[in-house]
Amino acid sequence: MGAQKSIHAGRAKIDVNVDFTHKLCTSLMFPTFRDTSSPLSLVIGSLCIKHPNLFGGSEKLDVSWDKGLYDSNVLVAFRRPRPEWRPQQCFFIQHSLSPEIGVHGTPVDNFSRSGSGGVNLSKLAVGLDLSEPASSKWSSTTSIKFEHVRPINDEGRSITRDLDGFPVTCSGNTHDSMVVLKQESRFAKASDQGLSHFSMQIEQGIPVLSKWLIFNRFKFVASKGVRLGPAFLLASLTGGSIVGDMAPYQAFAIGGLGSVRGYGEGAVGSGRSCLVANTELALPLNKMTEGTIFLDCGTDLGSSRLVPGNPSLRQGKPGFGYGFGYGLRFKSPLGHLQVDYAINAFNQKTLYFGVTNLASST
């Protein structure tokens, strides 16, 4: 599957990892009755450099680079030691490049897959994270960052409009700029009988300059798990909304693995608001394997028409969808393997394969 090597150079530690399937399979879906062997022949790689004592005062520097099939991410993070009772600081610079499939992707095969819409996002962010000390079962993080977003086509050129001639930025220029203040609170509780989890994110665009985006965006995730004899029932509800200035790429994309299975990424719809419900019942088959049945559903709450350019309507997305099916979960030395077989509302069948928590070897 892959290999990892750690190199110690003085006080610095360099982790080099080359992985053939981890990042790819986490987000890749395989439609049934199709050749799925060729994508796995492409290499996924990552490089991580860590220094635990940069200036002699226990300052930590982390530099990471990840490369996928069509995306890449570079992150530089610097942490200074602080007393445990004070918020922990992390300065970061991040650049990412990825296809914008969720909003501008084109649904195919009865919405079971999403093809490229010719829009990619190049993002540069510079900011500061403040992590508050955990209190009981609650934790929170506050961050502020400057973000520069530049849409580009598949050839790497800056664009202002999509393939249908509609704007892809809020400003109408080749890029959007914004300063975003973000607050995230999390609650987690677990026991032998079940678990509870809740998280809330609120983002506020600050108008430092007149042409910068001003918006308020929130998202929540609530999950509840209950043990029913040997089985485990997990239900979750995800929702969000955005008001104010908005670029199409900021819309909530509904559909895909982690959302509504049986659909391609964003193939259910993309709107200013969303609501997604997931239910999964897991039953152990042996010590290493679990069988599951699941039901997912999601809606854009009729808000797709409020997204600039209305890409969801132009692509014929339904705005509401459901998917159901069954799957297997395997525990192995390589990590947790997941296979899901899903059927959507159009009776289109899709097979998903995922790898999470990949074990590393040195």
What pLDDT sits at residue 21? 42
Q: Does domain 3-357 have CATH number 3.40.50.920?
A: no
Q: How far apart are CA 126 and CA 67, in angstroms?
A: 20
Q: Decide: residue 43, CB within 10 A, 0-12 exposed, 13-18 middle, 19+ buried.
A: middle
- The 10s digit of each residue's pLDDT in 242-276 is 999 999 999 999 999 889 999 999 999 999 999 99
Do 141 and 184 meet the contact criterion of CB atoms below 8 Å apart?
A: yes
CA-angle at 344, arms to 340 and 346, nearest 5°: 150
Domain boundaries, the chain: 3-357
What pLDDT sits at residue 41? 33
What pLDDT sits at residue 81? 84
* Kind plus residue range of the DSSP H or E element containing 131: strand 120-131
What pLDDT sits at residue 10? 62
**Terminal-residue alpha carbon distance, the chain:** 14
Q: How far apart are CA 256 and CA 235, in angstroms?
A: 17
Where the chain has pLDDT below 70, the residues are 1-44, 334, 356-362
Structure token digits, residue 32? 């049934």
Nearest to 347 by CA among 32, 25, 117: 32
What pLDDT sits at residue 362? 35
What pLDDT sits at residue 38? 32
Q: Beta partners for 107?
A: 114
Location of structure tokens 């195919």: 108
* Kind plus residue range of the DSSP H or E element containing 103: helix 101-104
What pLDDT sits at residue 51? 85
Strands 2-9 and 113-115: unpaired
What pLDDT sits at residue 35? 31
Q: How far apart are CA 271 and CA 229, in angstroms?
A: 40
- The 10s digit of each residue's pLDDT in 270-287 is 999 999 999 999 999 998
What pLDDT sits at residue 44? 64
**What one-letter code names the amino acid at 292?**
T
Return the exposure string of 96-129: e unless at least 16 CB atoms fall within 10 Å of the residue's CB, then b: ebebbbbbbbbbebbbbbbeebbbbbbbbbebeb
Structure token digits, residue 68? 């996928």
Output the pTM of the full model. 0.85
Q: What is the DSSP-derived secondary structure letter of residue 334?
A: T
Any idea of the CA torsion for 75, 144, 101, 168, to the nearest 10 degrees?
Answer: -120
Task: Give the list of residues 6+ apart from residue 104 with CB closer than 8 angstroms, or none.
Answer: 117, 118, 119, 162, 168, 248, 249, 311
Q: What is the DSSP-derived secondary structure letter of residue 304?
A: G
